[in-house]
């Protein structure tokens, strides 16, 4: 009996300790980055251009670049992703074609992000001749986001009870009108949660934009989609590995990392809020 108690105690320690370590990982990451990044954060840092070979000034063009990039990603991936999810949940019959589509989506979600970068380079930059530009990079991230948007949207559609659809159809409404006026409005919060979470992931991606249009430095901000752009994750990468005066720019790298993580967390909090509000309404 005594032995059993000791084993029990030991097991509890191992299990609880493991969980504590996982939580500590997050704590260490956030503590290290925020405690060293926040002192360098200022209004000037987020609202001005880098100066003196990136050793001073701010990251405004990288913030704007990331926002515009994510916008292009959204424009492309949300309509296609939602349409695909609608097809799968509302129209598709359980046949071979549907199974192949589902298997494709699962595989696409597992393709390494750098391979999406190569695909974007071959397709958008070269074959379609968009060049290295924010458009090519945004479309590449759009492709990467597609499987996540489809999966989360389908989950949201699945939660809408069939009785609603049947009621609409029984009133003589066409299937498309049922989807547009009954199903989609009801599923909107769920879809939105998935979309925002996917975009927060896309905004932090670096590998897919490496060869499709990101630049270390640009002189001015232009709204034109065929220009190269700066982005927060790439800026952090360059500041921490490629800069000539790495030690001197370290505080700026910490501050950039803080802004990037805050941006991603902000999107996550919005998604949680939408989900929470939706749950409490039901």
Segment 243-282, which members bind another protein (CB under 8 A)?
250, 253-254, 257, 260-261, 264-265, 268, 272
> CA quadruple 184, 188, 194, 197: dihedral positive or negative?
positive
Q: With binding defined as CB under 8 A, does residue 192 bind another protein?
A: no
Q: With binding defined as CB under 8 A, does residue 40 bind another protein?
A: no
3 state SS of 56: strand
In whole angstroms, the minimum distance from the beta carbon of 23 to another protein comes to 6
Calculate the alpha carbon distances from 215 to 37, 136, 145, 153, 234 in Å.
23, 13, 22, 33, 8
Residues 109-148 interacting with another protein (rule: CB under 8 A): 110-119, 121-123, 126, 143, 146-147
Calculate the alpha carbon distances from 127 to 18, 116, 119, 203, 271 in Å.
49, 15, 10, 25, 36
What is the distance between the terminal CA atoms of the chain, rounded to a whole angstrom? 50
Residues 56-85 interacting with another protein (rule: CB under 8 A): 80, 83-84
Q: With binding defined as CB under 8 A, does residue 170 bind another protein?
A: no
Q: With binding defined as CB under 8 A, does residue 39 bind another protein?
A: no
Q: With binding defined as CB under 8 A, does residue 19 bind another protein?
A: yes
Nearer to another protein, 92 or 218 (CB): 92
Asked if residues 82 and 149 have their Cβ atoms less than 8 Å apart, the reply is yes
- Distance, CA of 192 to CA of 80 (rounded, Å): 14
Nearer to another protein, 44 or 107 (CB): 107
Q: With binding defined as CB under 8 A, does residue 6 bind another protein?
A: no
Nearer to another protein, 51 or 174 (CB): 174
């Amino acid at each position: 009996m005594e032995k059993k108690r000791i084993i029990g105690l030991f097991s509890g320690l191992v299990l609880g300790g493991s969980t504590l370590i996982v939580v500590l990982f997050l704590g260490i990451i956030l503590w290290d980055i925020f405690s060293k990044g926040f002192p360098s954060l200022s209004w000037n840092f987020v609202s001005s251009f880098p100066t003196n070979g990136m050793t001073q000034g701010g990251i405004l063009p990288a913030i704007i670049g990331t926002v515009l990039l994510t916008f292009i990603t959204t424009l492309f991936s949300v309509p296609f992703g939602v349409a695909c999810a609608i097809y799968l949940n509302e129209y598709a019959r359980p046949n071979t074609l549907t199974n192949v589509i589902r298997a494709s989506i699962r595989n696409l979600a597992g393709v390494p992000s750098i391979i999406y970068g190569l695909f974007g380079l071959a397709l958008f930059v070269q074959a379609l001749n968009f060049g290295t530009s924010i458009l090519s990079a945004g479309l590449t991230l759009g492709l990467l986001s597609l499987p996540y948007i489809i999966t989360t949207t389908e989950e949201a559609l699945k939660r809408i009870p069939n009785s609603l659809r049947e009621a609409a159809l029984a009133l003589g409404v066409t299937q498309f009108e049922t989807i547009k006026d009954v199903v989609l409005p009801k599923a909107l919060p769920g879809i939105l949660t998935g979309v925002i979470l996917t975009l927060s992931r896309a905004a932090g991606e670096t590998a897919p934009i490496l060869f499709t249009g990101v630049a270390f430095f640009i002189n001015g901000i232009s709204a034109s989609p065929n220009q190269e752009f700066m982005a927060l994750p790439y800026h952090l990468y360059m500041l921490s590995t490629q800069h000539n005066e790495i030690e001197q720019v370290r505080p700026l790298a910490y501050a950039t990392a803080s802004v990037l993580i805050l941006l991603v967390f902000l999107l996550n909090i919005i998604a949680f809020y939408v989900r929470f509000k939706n749950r409490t309404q039901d």
